[in-house]
Amino acid sequence: MAGRVTRTLVVIGTGSLANALCDAFACVATEPVEVLVVGRDQGKAAQLCQLVGVRAVLARSPVVFHDAGYEDLARLLESRRPDGVVVCASRQSPWEGPSAWTDLLAREGFGLSLPLHADIAARTGRAIMAASPETWLVNACFPDAVNPLLAAQGIPVICGVGNVATLAAALQAALGLPDQSRLRLVAHHLHLHAPDTVADEALAWLDGTPIADVTTLLAAQRSVDRAAANRVTGHTAALLLDTLLTGDEMDTHVPGPNGLPGGYPVRIHGGKVSLRLPGGLSEAEAVARNEKSATRDGVRADSDLDTLLKLRDELRARPSARRTESHR
């Protein structure tokens, strides 16, 4: 590997998705990369780095992992000038157990938790702008709704991971496609579950022709345990990050590209993300479709973080009225 430039990637978070992402990246990275894992729990970060570091060695992958500690992020960014940062940490876990708070999310829509998902991503974005403006930002926390909020604050988020990417991977597998170049899917976080009506289903095309049985094709993926599904989500994220770092080209799907709401088919090339919509569908029409889904997902643009945190803590203390967790 002599003479090859080593890229630097910062991963913020040590939870389920961060583990799945690093686990996959350890095996798919095609060029030398140093991954710096930042987490509040240094023990978890060290354990993650140990395990994925061993996997990288077994895979003969040119990537190494280091625990960066939970130091001042701006100082880390200024000293290391990473190529990219991916945020996998938020104030709201998707795996939270039943309580009156999760009942409220189930009733009013997952979008109610938007400020809780946006906080760390926004703080990271502002730190990047101040300390290392050439560093790109990928947000994994509810990107369908958070990325437009980041863009509205002037934070240049390049895209998100998961959601439409996971659904597109499932469609690719169901259709027996070698890659996603012939597939185009417009879908929102909401579509991780089957919609109530066919009219509200995700839109998909194969070779420019609409796919009529999207619900049937996605049924198996939608029945999978959400935490276990991170094995696929992490792999799609790893492929995306490798392509961004190398500057190579890939036709894929991402949520929140360049701050747009919802998920779209895109082309990654030269570290940039551009839409590749099917013929006959304009960007305005695709955005409008995803904005409609966002409303159904309960997104509220006027939520206040402090007020929401207080409400969440109060409701967490109350028992759930439901037998099982049902929020998205």
Each residue's pLDDT tens digit, 273-282 = 999 999 999 9
Predicted confidence at residue 226, as pLDDT, reads 83
Predicted confidence at residue 4, as pLDDT, reads 63
pTM of the predicted structure, to 2 decimals: 0.88
Q: Are the C-beta atoms of 257 and 275 separated by less than 8 Å?
A: yes
Predicted confidence at residue 102, as pLDDT, reads 77
Predicted confidence at residue 108, as pLDDT, reads 73
**Closest of 215, 202, 159, 204 to residue 182, by C-alpha:** 204
Domain edges within the chain: 7-162, 164-229+245-296
Predicted confidence at residue 311, as pLDDT, reads 55
**CATH class for domain 7-162?**
alpha beta
In angstroms, the Cα distances linking 217 to 122, 144, 167, 214 are 35, 22, 10, 5
Q: Which residues of the chain, if any, have pLDDT below 70?
A: 1-4, 300-312, 315-316, 321-328
**Closest of 24, 39, 29 to residue 8, by C-alpha:** 29
**Closest of 205, 314, 195 to residue 265, by C-alpha:** 205
Predicted confidence at residue 221, as pLDDT, reads 97
Predicted confidence at residue 5, as pLDDT, reads 74
Predicted confidence at residue 324, as pLDDT, reads 41
